[in-house]
Structure 1
Amino acid sequence: MKREWLIHKRKSRKITQEKVAKLAFIDRGYYSQIETGKRNPSPEVAYNIAKALDFDPMKFFQVQQLDHEQQPYTISNRFKNLKNGKAIYLYQEKEIYYYNLLTFIIKGIEKGSYCYVVDYYEEIEIIQDKLLAILPEEDIKRYVHFVDKSYMVRLSLQEAVDHFKELLSQYSEQDLIRIWSPKDVTETFANEEKDLVNIGEGLLGKQILYVSALDSSVISASEHINMMRHFHYIMTDLELVESPLYDPNNKTVLPSLFIQENI
């Protein structure tokens, strides 16, 4: 389907397709196919086009074309305004997952926040390449840090806690920290993430915004409800909202959310 809204954005600024393509570091043919709906942009291309035409790049990924300025729960608006809290992200589309991760980092950098991404080396390489297509390398080196998950999952809970405390000890109580940590069904200490985050919050005066991401296809309805009790926010590919079931007095460790029978 033709992206009439994108054509209108470009024409209202009296910019040619060739000019937008140049600003987005793609060729004109590729950009033309994006306008006609024949191709979808990658997250980095979406960012570059949006930057050239001054709009929220999430518009490319919305099922319905919404007025983002009037939507307080959209991902970019939430990541722009939040300073602390814990969110569980149940994603469906991996490309939108990458987009939301990039948004998490970029909005954090805009606030002067230091961002940690805990993931396996192969994923870290993909994320680094996407960031380099969007951000200056000096900003990435200053604000973005990667933690090798293959190392973390071999540690005991206490060792993992100590490692993370050491990483965060360099910051003051005024510093803002963001942590993005995707989970998979094979992890052994994933259920203890609450303890890791709580220790970090106590260390830094609760200036941590933490997102734990998980493929929604591996989560049952009962486990989803348990998550809603544990996390401040529930996030999908398209929005991030406060959890109506969040209980700040819940001190129990999460049940086994990540290891299910017959997956």
Structure 2
Amino acid sequence: MEHLRHKVAVITGAASGIGRGMAETFAEAGMRVVLSDVEEPALHATTATLRDSGADVHAVAADVSQAGDVTALAEAALGAYGAVHVLCNNAGVHTGSRPSWDSTLDDWAWILGVNLMGVVHGIRTFLPIMIEQDEDAHIVNTASLAGLMTGGSLYGVTKAGVLTLSETVQLELVDGGLKPRVSVLCPGLVDTNIADSHRNRPARFPDAGPFPADWDFDAARKAFELGASPRTIGGHVLQAIREQRFYVLTHHDFDDHIRHRTTQFLNGDNPTRLPFTGG
């Protein structure tokens, strides 16, 4: 998709973090953007800021774990702009205990519902619309390096699922001679507030597993604050859409970890982790 000006993008998890970085980047490129998030005050604040800068944006509150919310999001996007050319299935949360078997079924239901089923709902709802439009279109699914490396716990499970689903849909589109294309975004640490995901945990999932005894929220927040800027990630995503590039890896200081895991597959070795030395 080389010509993006005036095209319509829908972004979930758009109120902050990577989603906001995408929204700002797309708006700067002249796109019209539908921002969606479950955190309504932040969603409306971000939308107002973008409008004040001259961006053509529209806000829709939605919980991507609920298929009906995603259907309503698509209807609102079409009602506002008449088409959807780019979909960023970006909403994500982090939860779970270590060891992983201490995680509760509520932990699993919440993180799978948002991180994986949110992408499923986005694809099932928006891709038929894009195919029917018969125009160039693109879906970006946010996974993570945690889905490519060893030991990602619940979060890594969901992101590995996003990666496999994205690969499958891309191949199906190409094999079917259809116009939409897919990218999968696999970032490392980014300056987001995902360490505080519990602020948006639904009341229907009250049973949270215990954090490890040595867990330090302040240290986790600091680690993310030192990560890449969301606008930098937005730039990577925009370029991938233009190039129709599938894999979007933004933190190459973790390449050795991915290579290590792949080598273990091929050698039939038992899983081990490399030490984290940066990034």
- TM-score normalised over the length of structure 2: 0.38
- TM-score normalised over the length of structure 1: 0.40
> Which entry has the higher C-alpha Rg, 1 or 2?
1
